[in-house]
Chain A
Amino acid sequence: MVGFRTGLQIGVALMAAVLAAVLLPRYLELFTLINATVFVSMGVLALSLGLIWGFGGILCFGQTAFFGLGGYTYAVASINFGDTTWAIPLALALPTAVAAALGYLMFYGRISDVYMGVITLTTTLILFKFANSTAGDQWKIGSSPLGGFNGIPGTPPLNVPFDPGTQLAPDQIFVIAVLCLGLCYAAAKLILRTRFGRVSVAIKENELRAELLGYDVRLHKMALFAVGGFMAGLGGILFANCVFVSPTMFSLSYAGQVIIWVLVGGIGTLAGPVIGCILIQTLTTYAGTLSMIDPNLLLGALFMLAVVAVPKGLLPTATNLLAKLARRGDES
């Protein structure tokens, strides 16, 4: 029912995730492995934007709002509960609900794309400002201080469900993160095969036609936006597990990076944004450790290079190239 192509893509992605989960913890040093977990969590964030932008035409410049909300909710809830088990559903529900609410305002308010970009970006920046201003003892949720610009350094890592005494080690968290990314990819692929997913693409193609065929475009976009919020929230939870949550999660530089990952990797694909994210993060982080060049400068340069050299994004360009080569092979 799923279709050969989709099945194959999902199979390859899950296989890659399992391979990474099995192999990388053996060969990477702890520090590198934790870094890799960060990239994977960001990959989930990239995937969430790749899904709603590339397949729903929703131009969200502030996908980090849901990433940060997921992370903060996870941190605050798990500190309060003394157990991460129930913190997870909560940290998934909150960004999803906020995305649904924001989506309601934007789509039912019939806001244009440009304003949508501005509003979503503003949302994440407001959260950034707010999170930054929560230094001091008066800013506490239950037993968890919010910590202002320092964030919440004591964010507890995942524990075995209902067993707060047994916390997971970084390599186990890496495995979970990679599997989450693989599953998110598979879920997104499957969503796109359903009626809901295909109507989303149709809406991106032509909103008026979709509406004239009887599809409730606004409800649809809101639902897709909420799915994106859910996924970004999951990314935030994973991020909180390897770094700690801080206002940076909401920051302009993070918000901008997500867009760059998606564009460089290839909008209109799902794997592209993830590849773009991991590639760019690896490069900029490596450059950062060399401290020869400012990572932001490098990021900007890479982006410009990509826009000029591979305007369609890395993955679509690579697939086109392969298809061309295959055709040439057939002819000869």
Chain B
Amino acid sequence: MTVLLSTDGLRMRFGGVVAVDGVTLAVNEGELRCLIGPNGAGKSTFFKCLTGQYKPTGGRIFWRGRDITALDPFAVARLGVGIKTQVPSLFDGLTAMEGVVLAVRRLHGEAEARRRAVRALERLEVGDLGNRRIGLLAHGQRQLVELAMVVAPEPDLIILDEPTAGMSAEETGRAADLIRELNREHAIVVVEHDMQFIRTIAHTVTVFHQGRVLMEDSAEIVFKDPRVRDVYLGKAVA
């Protein structure tokens, strides 16, 4: 198996806070990886480093073996990395269709971009929202539209930071189906808190704790591990 994305001793410190503390991790082509960890474990910060939003204060990031640590976000995106950020990041003033078209317009002409945008919205079962202003959509719908924007350009690696937050049970189910389906063609790294969700989708689970990788194994083993229960204390780890 070839490694798609990897980090070597990645560190990110903000003044006195070390949010990511020497993370070494590799994601293979076609893999579906889950990241879990309590609040403040450093998952989102790790993603921001991967996508160039933060310049890490230590360590390296590799894409297919090439050092991409210093790249700007747009350059990382052009490699084929798409991210759905934890805080929804959308074009509120545009319609859902306009937004998704823009997501693919960099790679395709207008007509093809439209076709792909329609397909992406339909794939997420929000095809009927195309003409609606994104800013006026309900939270769950916004999440789905953002997912459509991330998925539409068919990136090699899709990063999802809590994609189902605020979604209804039904929408969450749809998202889980989608993630499994997407995984046939794309590698995916997803952060989730919902254990049931993780069980249904993940092969390998990486546990973050205080900026470090606590353990990395199959979902069964991880959820049985007492250390994982400890760091999640107070949280439902069934």
| Chain A residues engaging chain B, CB cutoff 8 angstroms | 195, 198-199, 201-202, 204-206, 208-217
User: Looking at the complex, which one of B74, B83, B92 makes contact with A206 (CB distance below 8 Å)?
Assistant: B92
* Residue numbers in A under 8 Å from B99 (CB-CB): 202
Point out the residues of chain B lying under 8 angstroms from A213, CB to CB. 74, 77, 102-103, 106, 149, 153
Contact of A202 among B78, B85, B94 (CB under 8 A): B94
* Chain A to chain B contacts (Cβ below 8 Å), 30 pairs: A195-B110, A199-B105, A201-B93, A201-B94, A202-B94, A202-B99, A202-B102, A204-B93, A205-B92, A205-B93, A206-B89, A206-B90, A206-B91, A208-B73, A209-B149, A210-B102, A211-B72, A211-B77, A212-B73, A212-B74, A212-B82, A213-B77, A213-B153, A214-B77, A214-B106, A215-B74, A215-B106, A216-B72, A216-B74, A217-B74
Given the interface pairs A198-B98, A202-B102, the reply to whether A212 lies near B77 with Cβ below 8 Å is yes
Q: 3 smallest A-B Cβ distances: which pairs?
A: A214-B77, A205-B91, A209-B89
B82-122 vs A, CB cutoff 8 Å, 1 = contact: the mask equals 11010001111110001100110110001000000000000
Q: Within the complex, what minimum Cβ distance (angstroms) separates B15 from chain A?
A: 19
Residues of A within 8 A of B153 (CB): 213-214
A195 to B103, CA, bound (A): 11
Closest residue of chain B to A203 (Cβ to Cβ) is B91
Question: Does B51 lie at the interface of the complex (its beta carbon under 8 Å from any beta carbon of A)?
Answer: yes
Cβ-neighbour of B85 out of A199, A212, A214, A217 (below 8 A): A212
Query: What residues on A are CB-neighbors of B149 within 8 Å?
Result: 209, 213
In the assembled complex, how far is the CB of residue B47 from the closest CB belonging to chain A, in whole angstroms?
A: 11
Chain A residues in 8 Å Cβ range of B53: 208
| Partner-A contacts on B (CB < 8 A) | 51, 53, 72-74, 77-78, 82-83, 85, 89-94, 98-99, 102-103, 105-106, 110, 149, 153
Complex Cα distance, B105 from A214, in Å, reads 10
A206 to B110, CA, bound (A): 21
Nearest CB on B from A266, distance (A): 15
Give A194's nearest chain B residue, CB to CB. B110
**A198 touches which one: B77, B92, B105 (CB < 8 A)?**
B105
Q: In the complex the two chains form, what is the Cα distance from A216 to B76 in whole Å?
A: 11
- Using known A-B contacts A195-B105, A198-B102, determine if residue A211 contacts B73 with beta carbons closer than 8 Å: yes
Residue from A195, A198, A214, A215 with most neighbouring chain B CB atoms (10 Å): A214
State A212–B103 Cα separation when bound (angstroms).
Answer: 9
Name the contact of A211 in the complex, choosing from B74, B93, B103 (C-beta under 8 A).
Answer: B74
Chain B: minimal CB distance from A267 (Å): 12
Q: How far is the CA of A212 from the CA of B82 in the complex (A)?
A: 7
Are B51's CB and A212's CB within 8 A?
yes
Task: Please state if A212 and B83 are interface contacts (CB–CB under 8 Å).
Answer: yes
- Verify B91–A209 contact, CB threshold 8 A: yes
- The residues of B that contact A210 with a CB separation of less than 8 Å are 102
Task: Output the nearest chain A residue to B77 by Cβ-Cβ distance.
Answer: A214
Q: How far is the CB of B234 from chain A (nearest CB, A)?
A: 32
User: B82 contacts which chain A residues (CB < 8 A)?
Assistant: 212
Nearest-CB residue, chain B, relative to A195: B105
Which residues in A have their C-beta under 8 angstroms from that of B85? 208, 212
> Which of chain B's residues have a CB closer than 8 A to the CB of A199?
102, 105
Q: Select from chain A the residue with minimum beta-carbon distance to B135.
A: A205
| Residue picked from B51, B73, B90, B153, most chain A C-beta under 10 Å | B73
How distant is the Cα of A201 from the Cα of B99 in the complex, in angstroms? Answer: 11
A206 CA to B135 CA, complexed, in Å:
12
Docked CA distance A84–B235 (Å): 77
**Contact with A214, one of B74, B90, B92, B98 (Cβ below 8 angstroms):** B74
A201-B94, A206-B92 known, 4 other contacts, Cβ within 8 Å:
A205-B92, A205-B94, A206-B89, A214-B153
Q: Which residues of A contact B77 (CB under 8 A)?
A: 211-214
**Looking across the interface, which residue of chain A has its beta carbon closest to that of B91?**
A205
Given A198-B102, A214-B77, are A208 and B91 neighbors across the interface (CB < 8 Å)? no
Q: Is B89's CB under 8 angstroms from A208's CB? A: yes
A208 to B51 Cα, complex, angstroms: 11
Decide: A214 near B78, CB < 8 A? Known: A198-B102, A199-B102, A205-B94. Answer: yes
Residues of A within 8 A of B78 (CB): 214
A210 to B99 Cα, complex, angstroms = 10
Nearest residue, chain A, Cβ from B98? A198
Q: Give CA–CA (A214, B149) in the complex, Å.
A: 12
Q: How far is the CB of B122 from chain A (nearest CB, A)?
A: 20
- B93/A209 in contact, CB under 8 A: no
Q: Which residues of B contact A206 (CB under 8 A)?
A: 89-92
A287–B124 CA distance with the chains assembled, in angstroms: 60
A216 CB, min distance to chain B CBs, angstroms: 5
How far is it, in angstroms, between the C-alpha of A202 and the C-alpha of B92 when the chains are bound? 9
Q: Which residues of B contact A205 (CB under 8 A)?
A: 91-94
B191 to chain A, nearest CB (A): 16
Report the bound CA distance from A221 to B26 in whole Å. Answer: 35
Cβ–Cβ < 8 Å partners of A204 in chain B: 93
> Counting chain A CB atoms within 10 Å of each CB, which of B53, B74, B78, B98 scores highest?
B74
Question: Chain B nearest CB: distance from A4 CB in Å?
Answer: 16
